[in-house]
C-alpha cells in the first residue's frame, strides 16, 4: 500500500503510525539539521535548523513536515524529510548536488513555465542520480508584460485581495502539475522528492498548503510555514533584486513587485479561507480537479477512517486508494 506516514510523538507499543496514501517517512542517515558551508550565504539559527536544510546554491530549501496532524489524532505529526520545497536549482553547486543526494532526493519537480525559465536564464542543470520532471503550474501567457503590469498595479493597490485572487487562479491551473507530484508520491512512496519554482514561494507554497491541509495540519502552522519564505530568501535578496530589476515590467512597477514577492502570514490565512469557501477545503479542491472522493461506511451515516482518492484530470483516470487508520 502506498503510504504517507504521520508518526506519533510517543513511542508506546499501542501508539503506532498513522498510515496515509502519500508516504512521508523519515530518512535514515540523512542530515537532519542544516549545516552551513563556506559558500552558503545563510546566517542566523533559523536557517540552520528544521524545517530548513542546506543545499549549497539553492535558496529557500526546506522540508514540508514536522507539524502536528491533530485533525487526525492527538500526538501525531507529518513526518519531515520526505517532501521538500525550494527555489530554482540553476545555481546549485557540486557540493549542493552531493547534499541533495544525501537527503535521499531522487526526483525534483519543476513548476516553472518555459517562458519563465528562458526569461531568467535559469535552466536546471543535470544532477547525477536525480530525475528532473517538468510540471509547469502556470502557462507561458502569465508572463506577458501587459498582463504583468496590470497585476503589479493590483498588488500595489490591494495586496491581500490580489494574492487570494491569484492563488485561486493558480490552484485551478496547477491541476496537471499537482497530479504529477501526487502520482509520484503514490507510485514511489520510498523516494523523497523536491518541488520547486523560481523562489519557492507561490506555487510551491500552494502545493505545501494543500498537502498540509490534507494531512491535518493546523491553519496556524500552514500560515507560519508559508511565511518562513521571508527568512529563506533573505540571504539572496540582492541576487533576486538584480534578477528581477533586469525585467522592465518589474523594474517600472517595483512597489507592486515587492508586495507580490512578499510572504506575510495574512495572505496565506486569507487563502486558506478561500480554499474552504471556494473549494470546500483541501479534499474539496482535489475533488474539484477530479482527484479526491470520500466514501462513507456502508450502512452507516458516519465517514470511514479510510480515505479513497481518485485522480482524473482532463479525462484521464488513475485509481488511487489511500488509508488513514489509527492502529492501537
Average pLDDT over residues 61-78: 81
Average pLDDT over residues 279-306: 58
Of 3-12, 61-70, 237-246, where does mean pLDDT reach its minimum?
Answer: 3-12
How far is the CA of 180 from the CAs of 16, 195, 260, 318, in angstroms? 30, 11, 27, 11
Of residues 31 and 280, more confidently modeled: 280
Q: Where are the beta strands (DSSP E) in the chain?
A: 6-8, 18-19, 62-63, 76-78, 83-86, 107-110, 131-134, 193-196, 292-293, 308-313, 316-321, 325-326
pLDDT in tens, 244-273: 899 899 999 999 999 999 999 999 999 999
Which CATH architecture is the domain 6-326 placed in? Alpha-Beta Complex (3.90)
How far, rounded to the nearest angstrom, does the alpha carbon of residue 81 sit from its chain's CA centroid? 13
Q: Is the pLDDT of residue 159 over 70?
A: yes
Amino acid at each position: 500500500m502506498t503510504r504517507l506516514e504521520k508518526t506519533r510523538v510517543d513511542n508506546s507499543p499501542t501508539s503506532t503510525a498513522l498510515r496515509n496514501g502519500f508516504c512521508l517517512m523519515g530518512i535514515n542517515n540523512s542530515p537532519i539539521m542544516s549545516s552551513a558551508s563556506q559558500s552558503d550565504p545563510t546566517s542566523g539559527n533559523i536557517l540552520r535548523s528544521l524545517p530548513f536544510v542546506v543545499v549549497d546554491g539553492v535558496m529557500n530549501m526546506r522540508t514540508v513536515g514536522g507539524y502536528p496532524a491533530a485533525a487526525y489524532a492527538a500526538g501525531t505529526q507529518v513526518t519531515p524529510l520526505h517532501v521538500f520545497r525550494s527555489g530554482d536549482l540553476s545555481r546549485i553547486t557540486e557540493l549542493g548536488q552531493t547534499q541533495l543526494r544525501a537527503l535521499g532526493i531522487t526526483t525534483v519537480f519543476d513548476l516553472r513555465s518555459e517562458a519563465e525559465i528562458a526569461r531568467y536564464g535559469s535552466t536546471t542543470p543535470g544532477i547525477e542520480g536525480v530525475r528532473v520532471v517538468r510540471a509547469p503550474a502556470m502557462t507561458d501567457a502569465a508572463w506577458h508584460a501587459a498582463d504583468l503590469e496590470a497585476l503589479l498595479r493590483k498588488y500595489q493597490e490591494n495586496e491581500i485581495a490580489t494574492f487570494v485572487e491569484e492563488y485561486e487562479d493558480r490552484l485551478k491551473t496547477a491541476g496537471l502539475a499537482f497530479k504529477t507530484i501526487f502520482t509520484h508520491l503514490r507510485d514511489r512512496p520510498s523516494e523523497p522528492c523536491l518541488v520547486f519554482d523560481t523562489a519557492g514561494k507561490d506555487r510551491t507554497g500552494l502545493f505545501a498548503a494543500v498537502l498540509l491541509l490534507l494531512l491535518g495540519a493546523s491553519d496556524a502552522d500552514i500560515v507560519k510555514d508559508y511565511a518562513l519564505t521571508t527568512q529563506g530568501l533573505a540571504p539572496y535578496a540582492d541576487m533576486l533584486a538584480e534578477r528581477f530589476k533586469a525585467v522592465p515590467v518589474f523594474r517600472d512597477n517595483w512597489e507592486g513587485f515587492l508586495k507580490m514577492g512578499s510572504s506575510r502570514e495574512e495572505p496565506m490565512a486569507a487563502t486558506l479561507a478561500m480554499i474552504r469557501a471556494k473549494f470546500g477545503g483541501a479534499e474539496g479542491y482535489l475533488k474539484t480537479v477530479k482527484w479526491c472522493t470520500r466514501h462513507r461506511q456502508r450502512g452507516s451515516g458516519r465517514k470511514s477512517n479510510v480515505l479513497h482518492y481518485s485522480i482524473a484530470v482532463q479525462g484521464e483516470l488513475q485509481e488511487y486508494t489511500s488509508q488513514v487508520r489509527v492502529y492501537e
